[in-house]
């Protein structure tokens, strides 16, 4: 099925992005408005609106997507544990702060301090 959402267009290379990883199922690229020294977005290439849409049929690709996170963090400048690390965020729905309705993981890391935008709510 063809979708016209922003991240579907990035997945199809119709809109440019600073891509750091691509395979047949996933694409990762730099967030255009980074909230941390390292701020990547990881998306499935197929359209799914959010984690709220995930069902039992999705466990295979979703596990693979999660497995990619530490690899992408390490390859793109997040520092190694235990002093380093990364933050994984999936904003979901309006009150979750989701602005783009195509499932995406924010992978953030690097030396602190980070932008207040990346800080957890008080």
Site for Zn ion in 88-117 (CB under 5 A): 102
How many alpha carbons fall within 13 Å on the CB side of residue 28?
A: 21
Active site residue 104: yes
Sheet of strand 87-89: strand arrangement: 19-22, 26-30, 38-44, 105-109, 87-89
Among 8, 11, 17, 27, binds ligand AMP (CB under 6 A): 17
Question: Is 5 a residue that touches Zn ion (CB under 5 A)?
Answer: yes
Among 1, 32, 121, 122, binds ligand AMP (CB under 6 A): 32
What does R_g of the chain's alpha carbons equal in angstroms? Answer: 14
If one asks whether residue 97 binds ligand AMP (CB under 6 A), the answer comes out as yes
Q: Which does 50 bind (CB under 5 to 8 A by kind): ligand AMP, Zn ion, none?
A: none
Considering only residues 49, 51, 74, 100, which one is a binding residue for ligand AMP as defined by CB under 6 A?
A: 100
Choose the binding region for ligand AMP from 52-60, 63-71, 77-85, 97-105 (rule: CB under 6 A): 97-105
DSSP for residue 11: H
In whole angstroms, give the CA distance from residue 68 to residue 58: 16
Contacts of residue 43, defined as CB under 8 A and 6 or more positions apart, other chains included, come to 7, 10, 11, 26, 27, 28, 102, 103, 104, 105
Q: Which residues bind ligand AMP (CB under 6 A)?
A: 6, 15, 17, 31-33, 41, 91, 97-100
């Amino acid at each position: 099925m063809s979708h016209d959402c922003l991240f579907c267009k990035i997945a199809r290379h119709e809109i440019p992005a600073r891509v750091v990883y691509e395979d047949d199922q996933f694409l990762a690229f730099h967030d255009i408005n980074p909230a941390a020294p390292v701020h990547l977005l990881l998306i499935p290439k197929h359209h799914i609106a959010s984690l709220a849409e995930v069902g039992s049929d999705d466990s295979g690709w979703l596990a693979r997507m999660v497995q990619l996170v530490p690899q992408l963090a390490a390859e793109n400048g997040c520092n190694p544990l235990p002093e380093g690390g990364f933050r994984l965020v999936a904003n979901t729905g309006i009150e979750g702060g989701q602005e783009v309705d195509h499932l995406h993981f924010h992978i953030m890391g690097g030396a602190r301090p980070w932008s207040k935008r990346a800080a957890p709510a008080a």
